Structure 1
Amino acid sequence: MKIKRHASVLALIAAGALALSACGSDQNTNSGGSSPSGTGNSNAAGVKPDCEGVKEAIKASGSSAQANAIARFQVAYQNACSGKKMDYNSNGSGNGVKEFLGKQTDFGGSDSPLSKDKGEVQQATARCDGAPAWNLPAVFGPIAITYNVKGADGLVLDGSVLGKIFSGQITTWNDPAIAALNQGKTLPGDKITVIFRSDESGTTDNFQQYLEASSKGTWTKGKGKVFNGGIGEGAKGNENTSAAIARTPGSITYNEWSFAKQNKLQIAKIVNSGGGEAVELNSASAGKAIEGAKVKGQGNDLELDLKSIYATPTPGAYPLVLAAYEIVCSKYTDQAQGKAVKAFLTAAVTTGQRGLEDNGYIPVPEAFQTKLLTAIGAIA
C-alpha cells in the first residue's frame, strides 16, 4: 500500500531528505523560539534505530491526520536503515484499527486509542498472539476549524457557538451568537454548510470530545469516530474535507492543521474555556495546551487523557489538539517484523521530528519523547 502524498509534500520531503542526512543538528525552531523535541533534546542524543535483522518492508494504515508527518518519518527511517521501507495507506483511523486487528498491517495509525468499550483492546491482544497492544502517541496535531467566508479572515468562535453550528442550531453566518464574538466584522447572511468526515475518523472523535467538554451544553450529540451532528455534507479523509471547504462558499469543517495550511484555508481563532481572548492556532499556542496532557495508560501503554486540553482555561492555550497514536504489538511473533516496527518508530520520534512545524504538527514534547523511547525500546 502506498501513502497518498500531495505534490507539495513530495517537494518538501525531497528537500528534507538531504537535510536529514547531512545535518547533525536541527536548525528549525518553532514559533515559541525553542528547539523542537527530538533534535536538541539531550534525552534523545545518540539514540539511533537498530537496523540489524529488520524486515525489509513493513506496512501500516490509518489516520489521515498524521499522513504528512508519516511522510517525514519515512524519510528519516530510510536514511537510518538504507534499503528498508514502511508503506502507509492514509485511509482513516477506523480502517487503521480494523486492518491492524485483522493482521493486514504491522501497526495501525489512529487519532483515538484502542477502545475497551468496543472490544478493541481484547481483539488487539488476540491479534498480538496474547501480548498486549500499546498506544504510542508519536504525532501531535492541532485540529483547525476551517471555513470559506469571503472577507471574514480571523473569524472568532468558541465551543458554545461551534456546538450550535455543528448540530444545526445556528444556520447562517450573521447569527447574533457569531456576531457577538466578531464585533466590527461584517458577516454575510449566507447559509452555513457543515462539512464532516464521512469515514470513521479519530479527528471526528477528538472534535466531538472537544464539543462535549467546551460547548457548555450546546452539543448533546455525543462522541465517537462517526459524526453525530445529523446535518451537513460528508467527505472522506482530511484531504477531501479540505478540498470541499476550498470549493464551497459558506462552508465550515474541522480538519488537521497540516491540511489547512497546505490548502491555505481560512482558520478560526478559538476562545477557550477560560473565556478570555481568542487564541490563534500556532505552534506556541498548541504547545502550551500539550504541556497539560496527562498519561492515563499503564506502563508502556501511553494513552493520553486530553480532557483537560479540550476544556483548558489556560490563557493563550489552543484547546483543539489531538494525539495521533501508532498502535503496536508489545511483542511480535515474527522477530524481524518487531525489529522493523521498533526501528521505524525510533526514527520517527527522534530525527523524524525535525521540521514537523512546516507541515502543521507540534514536535513531541520532551517528557513524552523520553517515555516513547522507553516504550519503543521495549517492543520485542
Structure 2
Amino acid sequence: MKIKQHAAVLGFVAAGALLLSACGSDNNAGNNTSGATSSAAGSVACGGKKSVNGDGSSAQGNAMTEFTASYVEACKDFNVAYNVSSSGDGIKNFLAKQVDFAGSDSPLKADEITKATERCAGSAPLHLPLVFGPVAIAYNLPGVELTLTPDLVAKVFSGVIKNWNDPAIKAANPSANLPEKAIGVVFRSGQSGTTDNFQKYLAAAAPQAWTKGDGKEFKGGIGDGKAKSADVASAVKATEGGITYVEVSFAKSNKLGIAKLDSGAGAVELTDATAGKAIANAKLQTATTPGDLVLDLKALYADKTAGSYPLVLVTYEIVCAKSADADTAKALKNFLTVASTTGQDRLPKIGYVPVPAEFRTKLTESIKSIS
C-alpha cells in the first residue's frame, strides 16, 4: 500500500476521487461495479456538510480511499478528508474537536468515553466497526516459506529468539533453508491500535511466552520503531532478515513473505477465507449505549479452530451519537451508509474482509440512529 513515510490526507474532490479509483496504484484498487454504484446512489439522500474530516488508524487508510471514492460516486458534490496517522492521534484529535470522526483499531477506554461524551455535548460516542482486516506476520527472507506458532511469534518479538536459524524456528520449519542471520524486528512506534491488537493476540494465544501485556505502545523491548503501517512494511522490505506485524494489504504490496500461523491444529495460510472464518466467530460486547458496537476479540485471538487465522483486527469509526451540528450529522450518516454498503464491495481486492453478515443489520441500525 502506501510506501511514503509522510502522512497522507485521503480527501478528494469528485473528479480526483474517481480518477484515483479508476487509475489505481500499488496502494489502491480499481473501479467498483456500476450496479453497486447505482445502488449506493439510489439509497443515499445526499446532503448536509459538503466535506467531513476524520483522522486516525493507518490500518484502514486504503479502505478509506475506497470508501471516499464510493461516497463521491453516490454524492457528486460531497467529500471526505481522512488523515492517515494512528489510532491514538485520531482519538486525540476527535476529543479536541479537530475532526468529525476518528478511526481507531481499539475501542475507547473508560476515561476517553467520558471525554468523548463531553466532546459530543452530552451524547455518548458510537463505535462503528467498518473495516475488518487480517494482520500479517510479514518478513523478508527470500525463498523461505515460514510457519510460526503463537509462542514463536511472542519469543521473536520479545527478543528471546534472536536468530533465524534458532532451533525452535527450525523445528517448526524442518524443510526450510533458514539463514544464520539476526532477526530484525520492526514495530509500530507511538500509539498504534495495530500494536494493541497484536499484543492482545499474543497475550491470549501465547500467555506463557508473552508476559509483557498489551496496549497501544509496543512493549517487546527490542527492534526499530516506525510511525505507520506503510513505514514498517517499507522498513522490512529494505532489510533482509526483517520481520513485522502489519495489515496484510501492506505486506502484499511490498511483496513481503507472510508467515503461516500454527495455533495447534496445523499451519494456516492467511487468506480471505481463513481470516473470514475467524472473524465470523467474533462476538459483540454487551452495549451500555444503544447502537454502540464493540467486539470482544479475546476469545477469537485464543481460538485454535482448524483452518482459522485468528490474528485479525477491526477498525472502528468513532462518532457522536448526536451532533450539535445537524449538517455534520447528516453528512456523516450518508458517508457511513455508503461505506457500510457499496464501500464494502471494494474491500476484498485490497486485502480487507467485508463486515460479516451477522453484524450488518446492527451496523445499519446504528448508522441510522446518528442525529
TM-score using structure 2 length: 0.91
Residue 43 of structure 2: aligned partner? 48
CA shift, 1:49, in A, is: 2.3
Residue 22 of structure 2: aligned partner? 14
In the alignment, the residues of structure 1 paired with residue 134 and residue 336 of structure 2 have an alpha-carbon distance, to the nearest angstrom, of: 21
In the alignment, the residues of structure 2 paired with residue 114 and residue 224 of structure 1 have an alpha-carbon distance, to the nearest angstrom, of: 12
Q: Secondary structure of 1:195's match?
A: strand
In the alignment, the residues of structure 2 paired with residue 23 and residue 11 of structure 1 have an alpha-carbon distance, to the nearest angstrom, of: 15
In the alignment, the residues of structure 1 paired with residue 35 and residue 213 of structure 2 have an alpha-carbon distance, to the nearest angstrom, of: 47
Aligned residues: 354
In the alignment, the residues of structure 2 paired with residue 11 and residue 160 of structure 1 have an alpha-carbon distance, to the nearest angstrom, of: 45
**Root-mean-square deviation (CA), in Å?**
2.2
**Where do residues 231-380 of structure 1 align in structure 2 (5 Å cutoff)?**
231-272=222-263, 275-298=264-287, 299-380=290-371
Is this contact kept in 2: 1:99–1:105, CA < 8 A? yes
Residue 139 of structure 1: aligned partner? 131
CA shift, 1:25, in A, is: 4.7
Residue 113 of structure 2: aligned partner? 121
In the alignment, the residues of structure 2 paired with residue 151 and residue 217 of structure 1 have an alpha-carbon distance, to the nearest angstrom, of: 31
Name the CA shift for 1:313/1:12 in 2 (closer, same or farther; >3 Å): farther
Is this contact kept in 1: 2:105–2:316, CA < 8 A? yes
Name the CA shift for 1:367/1:47 in 2 (closer, same or farther; >3 Å): farther
In the alignment, the residues of structure 1 paired with residue 30 and residue 160 of structure 2 have an alpha-carbon distance, to the nearest angstrom, of: 51
Letter in 1 for 2:45: D
Letter in 2 for 1:372: L
Q: Secondary structure of 1:87's match?
A: strand
CA shift, 1:199, in A, is: 2.1
Name the CA shift for 1:216/1:114 in 2 (closer, same or farther; >3 Å): closer
Letter in 2 for 1:125: T
- 1:77-102 per-position Cα deviation (integer Å, ceiling 9, x unaligned): 11111110000000011101000111
CA shift, 1:309, in A, is: 1.4
Letter in 2 for 1:23: S
Is this contact kept in 2: 1:193–1:232, CA < 8 A? yes
Q: Secondary structure of 2:267's match?
A: coil
TM-score using structure 1 length: 0.89
In the alignment, the residues of structure 2 paired with residue 56 and residue 174 of structure 1 have an alpha-carbon distance, to the nearest angstrom, of: 56
Letter in 2 for 1:247: A
Q: Secondary structure of 1:24's match?
A: helix
Residue 177 of structure 1: aligned partner? 168
Residue 105 of structure 1: aligned partner? 99
Letter in 2 for 1:80: A
Residue 197 of structure 2: aligned partner? 206
CA shift, 1:163, in A, is: 0.8
Is this contact kept in 2: 1:261–1:359, CA < 8 A? no
Name the CA shift for 1:379/1:79 in 2 (closer, same or farther; >3 Å): same
Is this contact kept in 2: 1:49–1:342, CA < 8 A? no
Instruction: Answer yes or no: is 1:72 the counterpart of 2:66.
Output: yes
Q: Secondary structure of 2:163's match?
A: coil
Residue 86 of structure 2: aligned partner? 92
In the alignment, the residues of structure 2 paired with residue 206 and residue 47 of structure 1 have an alpha-carbon distance, to the nearest angstrom, of: 37
Correspondent of 1:2 among 1, 9, 12:
9
Is this contact kept in 2: 1:159–1:216, CA < 8 A? no
- 1:225-259 per-position Cα deviation (integer Å, ceiling 9, x unaligned): 00001100111100100100000111110001111
Letter in 2 for 1:100: F
Letter in 1 for 2:272: S
Residue 217 of structure 2: aligned partner? 226
Q: Secondary structure of 2:82's match?
A: strand
Q: Secondary structure of 1:302's match?
A: coil
In the alignment, the residues of structure 2 paired with residue 18 and residue 63 of structure 1 have an alpha-carbon distance, to the nearest angstrom, of: 22
Identity %: 49
Letter in 1 for 2:227: K
Letter in 2 for 1:214: A
CA shift, 1:3, in A, is: 2.2
In the alignment, the residues of structure 1 paired with residue 204 and residue 142 of structure 2 have an alpha-carbon distance, to the nearest angstrom, of: 30
CA shift, 1:14, in A, is: 2.0
In the alignment, the residues of structure 1 paired with residue 81 and residue 198 of structure 2 have an alpha-carbon distance, to the nearest angstrom, of: 28
